Amino acid sequence: MSTYDLEIREAEAGVVVASLAGELDLTNAPQLEERLDAAGDESFLVLDINQVVFIDSAALHVLFKLARRRERGGFALLMEPNAAVSRTLDIVGMKHAVRIVNSLDELVDQ
């Protein structure tokens, strides 16, 4: 069974940052989805995936579903270009489903 860590914190009023680390796959995707859904629909959710070292199709499906439910205005991925899963997210076209930023400052500036 793969393991991951998820820390959810309010960065500022109306913005929740969920920091993920570890491996995301079929064994933990349902639990991840439940925990991210519990972050609240009223807040803008920023999912920091810089410390994720592996992601499979089940976990990718969770991200796409989350993006569809929250639409582009309520969800963003925080990922540096050299993050371990950046190539995978590029291949599946994640940037077409959700805004991807390199830093929280970039999110605020736009």
pLDDT band at residue 39 using 50, 70 and 90 as cut-offs: confident
pLDDT of 68-96, one tens digit each?
988 766 899 999 999 999 999 999 999 99
* 45 token code pair: 């959710």
For residues 27 and 92, give the distance between their C-alpha atoms in angstroms, rounded to a whole number: 21
Domain boundaries, the chain: 4-82+96-101
For residues 52 and 30, what is the distance between their CA atoms, to the nearest angstrom? 17
**C-alpha gyration radius of the chain:** 13
**Percentage of the chain surpassing pLDDT 70?**
93
* pTM attached to this predicted model: 0.90
What does the pLDDT read at residue 72?
60
Q: What is the CATH number of domain 4-82+96-101?
A: 3.30.750.24
Q: Where does the pLDDT of residue 109 fall: very low under 50, low under 70, confident under 90, or very high at 90 and above? A: low
Q: Average model confidence (pLDDT) for the chain?
A: 91
Q: E strands of 1-110, at which residues?
A: 4-12, 15-24, 44-55, 75-78, 99-101
Among positive and negative, which fits the CA dihedral 76, 79, 84, 88?
positive
